[in-house]
Structure 1
């Protein structure tokens, strides 16, 4: 009799998934009986099995996450094998063609299509994702953070290849809560359009739903370090506060906000024209592009006249993403903000938004001058592109996300991290 009931439950779940009935799947998954132990709460069909990964599945992720040097050496060798190099070359057309069978794609890729807990369902989040290449990176990031109660705005750089835009558009079309930004821009490194891309998504997300509690901005080479449930609990603990880097502006960078800058031929150049002081005598703070902020903070960005004036003033500065959000965080009256006294300064290592290894701050683990250990991957623009050897260090920290990851550079780092997060999400 017990076997018959278990078979009936399994059949019902498969039927619910096949017809796309998320409410039925959620109802069945919440059943609490004594005749299906380990089944109703483990969601075994959502686990990452051998058929999900490529040749990188041959690595020992558990040992890698514990920093086992033998497992890490094997991972390095595996990364350069022909099978692995071939497996990570997924053409953009693959995702474009996947739109012919959306349901099959979501099932095969094991997207979580129902809330895993009432706690998560009652605390939806909003994400913006800025992308310009590497579709596979984007898809794996989306899969890692996707749940149906959240909402996702995707900004594809207008300069991106047509195949990239088409592939990401195809992926977004699979999900009712994932959409492309209403107004895309040509993103320029260290220029205003990088901020405008996030602002456009902010506005779209704010207008699309009144339910979400926090906004998190991402780029295509980010990856989570926490499950959605862990994020929800950490954000609840903020009690309406924000978490982002915001420190006193360093004197050696004053030129960034003291001179007018222009975008010329796709790059940003400094002119000899000096800028007027910031509006309302706002103290300009130093930070970075990545933020975790409340819906109230976003409302201020969109509606507060002081913030509008600051935005206009920042449009001809250098790398405005590295001071705008940090400055808004110290404007009195902005929800979740902190008083602009240096005692309230917050570094990137203390903010939970993003964990980044800057090459200039790396060093030997026993070095007193090093902020963090040496990168085990490679560097791009003085930022560590993480390798499998960085995972143990990453998971020791309290950040929600880390940057940068690259499937082309080290697919095992992403494979082990996404496998770890999925197992943790299904076990909670």
Structure 2
């Protein structure tokens, strides 16, 4: 009996070794048909709640009139809005159990491909309200190989800070900025908020390849794999608006501006010319830049002098990055010659619909079709009717989205991106 047991044990060990050998040495299939089934739980479905129960996102994405009219009616219905809003208290309570929070919110907690894992990114997100907007943005761009610095405005409500702190605590690669600012619209603190995150991200890891700054009302128009491939195609270059400054905007940096009672004020006092006779160019706050660009922002004496000079200007975020992008020696920069000018429509960083550039299809003056949502500060807050146009653009992100004004635009877009990302597993 003892001999039989020993023989059985030896046979089991041999068979076990053979099985391990087969597993380790079997040829890798290009596509495992069971792979998608294992991760089908990550798809967004009607059971997740939200407007997809009553809206046909596929038809909305195709721009079908009946679906868009239904979506428009829902956005003015109080009960509908009440049912799809997520209060700050939900996030405060739900993030007490991080494992369940990530599972129930269907976060992608593993890289979807080796290509993505090998190309980590750094994100700065400046937020001051609308936690649901922020959380959906984070979920849409989250990947464990990336790094995320979150700046919450000092003026934010306590519930906003508590909710975002709870969300951040659930992810090892997401963190709150070390130093917060009281952000003032069109003033230096808005730039400083991004600078604080740039410094933290630069120190936290040497692995990330590109930096992208966002605000809480941005949303991606591409999957992470698409973003990675578009950034690789830049071959180390940067992508941001940077073009000749029109005369109508020169007053912003030609005169001293002070912050008084939480807003920026024109003083009428002329400023000295920029340091090193740097030509000032026009741009916007949002950029896609390589790691070397961030090093220059933090260390280059010309850039440091330019930033110090910019602190008492109006809307410094709308010329600072554009100007740095044209400085000789900054990694990924281009020459200041007008031939290298880049508009916001050509850059991939962000697509924004400005009221005065909208128009009917076929209009020679129009840059893009009319906004299908509302306008805030002359910027389109996208509606469901804008989604078809948005996914046709080459930009990585769109601005602005607001789940309180039109949740359908965000929900259909995030469902579309998740389905696309999971399909890319093939």
- The alignment's TM-score, normalised by the length of structure 2, stands at 0.91
Q: How much has 1:235 moved relative to structure 2?
A: 0.2
CA contact (8 A) 2:85 2:403 kept: no
Shift in alpha-carbon separation, 1:278–1:414, aligned structure 2, 3 A:
same
CA contact (8 A) 2:51 2:84 kept: no
How do 1:106-145 residues align onto structure 2 when only pairs under 5 Å count? 106-145=102-141
Give, in whole Å, the separation in 1 of the partners of 2:96 and 2:113: 31
> CA RMSD, aligned part only?
1.7
Alignment counterpart, residue 194 of structure 1, candidates 169, 190, 193: 190
CA contact (8 A) 1:356 1:403 kept: yes
Give, in whole Å, the separation in 1 of the partners of 2:251 and 2:32: 65
Give, in whole Å, the separation in 1 of the partners of 2:31 and 2:356: 57
- CA offsets, 1:339-380, max 9 Å, x none? 000000000000000000000111111211111110000000
Tell me which moved more, 51-60 or 331-340.
51-60
Give, in whole Å, the separation in 2 of the partners of 1:34 and 1:205: 36
Alignment counterpart, residue 80 of structure 1, candidates 68, 72, 76: 76
Shift in alpha-carbon separation, 1:36–1:315, aligned structure 2, 3 A:
closer
Q: How much has 1:58 moved relative to structure 2?
A: 1.7
Q: Are residue 357 (structure 1) and residue 353 (structure 2) matched?
A: yes
Q: What stretches of structure 1 of length at least 5 have no aligned partner?
A: 1-26
The SS at the match of 1:138 is: helix
Q: Which residue of 2 aligns with 1:426?
A: 422
Give, in whole Å, the separation in 2 of the partners of 1:353 and 1:147: 19
Q: What stretches of structure 2 of length at least 5 have no aligned partner?
A: 1-22
Q: Which residue of 2 aligns with 1:334?
A: 330
CA contact (8 A) 1:42 1:427 kept: no
How do 1:175-194 residues align onto structure 2 when only pairs under 5 Å count? 175-194=171-190
The SS at the match of 1:136 is: helix
CA contact (8 A) 1:130 1:197 kept: yes
Q: Which residue of 1 aligns with 2:295?
A: 299
Rg: which structure is higher?
A: 2
Q: Which residue of 1 aligns with 2:64?
A: 68
Q: How much has 1:91 moved relative to structure 2?
A: 1.8
Give, in whole Å, the separation in 1 of the partners of 2:365 and 2:31: 58
Q: How much has 1:32 moved relative to structure 2?
A: 5.8
Alignment counterpart, residue 373 of structure 2, candidates 377, 381, 387: 377
Q: How much has 1:382 moved relative to structure 2?
A: 0.1
Tell me which moved more, 286-295 or 266-275.
266-275
Give, in whole Å, the separation in 2 of the partners of 1:266 and 1:326: 26
- CA offsets, 1:38-81, max 9 Å, x none? 43577211111112232443211111111111110111122233
Give, in whole Å, the separation in 2 of the partners of 1:105 and 1:312: 43
CA contact (8 A) 1:56 1:78 kept: no
Q: Are residue 229 (structure 1) and residue 200 (structure 2) matched?
A: no
Give, in whole Å, the separation in 2 of the partners of 1:42 and 1:245: 42
- CA offsets, 1:212-261, max 9 Å, x none? 00000000000000000000000000010000000001101110010000
Q: Which residue of 1 aligns with 2:243?
A: 247
How do 1:7-406 residues align onto structure 2 when only pairs under 5 Å count? 37-40=33-36, 43-406=39-402
CA contact (8 A) 2:129 2:156 kept: yes
CA contact (8 A) 1:386 1:404 kept: yes
The SS at the match of 2:35 is: coil
- The alignment's TM-score, normalised by the length of structure 1, stands at 0.91
Give, in whole Å, the separation in 1 of the partners of 2:49 and 2:305: 49
CA contact (8 A) 2:211 2:291 kept: yes
Give, in whole Å, the separation in 1 of the partners of 2:264 and 2:311: 12
CA contact (8 A) 1:287 1:326 kept: yes
